[in-house]
């Protein structure tokens, strides 16, 4: 199945994004979409998240990345039907197509819960160097499973930085310090924030007494290496359950 056929089958249509949304994403490098998940979906995703953290213990996230001060999970496309929405949602895929063009695939689906008193990250981009405006390789989406607030470590982004042609590592004296232009992505659980992964971003300090839960459904151009080799890691149960269109998004 071609990507074009897969996207059509999953209900992707240009008009799922308004002109205003497209313009905001182009200019700012991110786009919050409220209410993509119901409360029941948020609860089910959180329950599975906790189950996997308990099951995997110190190995959590090791397929991709582990981080002190955060419960990390990886390879979630392969760890439960509940995660399927993160790589098949038509509005999210419409945004990915807008940023990356029609030939993209899932790079990885990971989880991150910043623990109380932890979670501050350097401003970074998910790509090693600056790019020319419009020539984007990767695009992420963060799925809020907790309300993101000023206190609990909401993600910060620097609007417009995806078009700066610079990487924060080179451009900033102290990438961990607050940036004068940074915006905190505060929003209720169930929101999905698309962010062009060339936009400078990072987790902030969780000053609350509860973990702050999010999922990162991360896409790349189809000619780029996936962060998770979906074909190598996919299990038979997942493979058999997925539709051909979903398999095409994973490129398995
Ligand atoms: O979870 C977040 O707030 C952002 C995490 C992030 O950017 C990362 O782990 O690279």
State the pLDDT at residue 242: 98
Asked if residue 201 has its Cβ within 6 Å of ligand 1, the reply is yes
Residues of the chain with pLDDT > 70: what percent?
100
Name the residue ranges covered by the structural domains of the chain. 3-250
Tell me the sheet residues that pair with 193.
Answer: 32, 142
What is the distance in angstroms between the CA of the first residue and the CA of the last residue of the chain? 11
Reported as a single tens digit per residue, the pLDDT across 76-118 is 999 999 999 999 999 999 999 999 999 999 999 999 999 999 9
Distance from residue 166's CA to the centre of ligand 1 (Å): 19
Reported as a single tens digit per residue, the pLDDT across 34-89 is 999 999 999 999 999 999 999 999 999 999 999 999 999 999 999 999 999 999 99
State the pLDDT at residue 120: 97
| Cα Rg of the chain (Å, integer) | 17
CA dist 127 and 125 (Å) reads: 5
Asked if residue 168 has its Cβ within 6 Å of ligand 1, the reply is no
Reported as a single tens digit per residue, the pLDDT across 157-193 is 999 999 999 999 999 999 999 999 999 999 999 999 9
State the pLDDT at residue 8: 98
| Helix H or strand E encompassing 241 | helix 236-241
Kindly report the CATH number that applies to the domain delimited by 3-250: 2.60.120.620
Asked if residue 217 has its Cβ within 6 Å of ligand 1, the reply is no
Asked if residue 202 has its Cβ within 6 Å of ligand 1, the reply is yes
């Amino acid at each position: 199945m071609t990507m074009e056929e897969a996207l059509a089958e999953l209900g992707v249509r240009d008009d799922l994004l308004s002109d205003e949304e497209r313009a905001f994403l182009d200019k700012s490098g991110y786009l919050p979409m409220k209410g993509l998940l119901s409360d029941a979906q948020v609860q089910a995703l959180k329950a599975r998240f906790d189950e996997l953290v308990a099951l995997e213990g110190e190995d959590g996230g090791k397929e991709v990345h582990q981080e002190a001060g955060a419960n990390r999970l990886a390879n979630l496309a392969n760890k439960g039907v509940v995660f399927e929405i993160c790589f098949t949602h038509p509005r999210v895929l419409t945004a990915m197509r807008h940023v990356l063009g029609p030939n993209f695939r899932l790079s990885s689906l990971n989880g991150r819960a910043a623990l109380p008193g932890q979670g501050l990250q350097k401003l970074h981009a998910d790509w090693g160097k600056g790019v020319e405006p419009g020539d984007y390789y990767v695009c992420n989406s963060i799925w809020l499973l907790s309300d993101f607030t000023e206190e609990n470590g909401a993600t910060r982004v620097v609007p417009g930085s995806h078009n700066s042609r610079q990487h924060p590592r080179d451009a900033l004296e102290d990438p961990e310090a607050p940036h004068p232009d940074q915006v905190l992505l505060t929003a209720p659980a169930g929101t999905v924030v698309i962010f062009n992964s060339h936009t400078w971003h990072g987790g902030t300090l969780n000053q609350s007494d509860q973990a702050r839960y999010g999922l990162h459904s991360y896409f790349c151009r189809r000619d780029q290496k996936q962060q998770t080799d979906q074909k190598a890691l996919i299990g038979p149960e997942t493979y058999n359950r997925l539709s051909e269109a979903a398999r095409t998004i994973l490129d398995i």
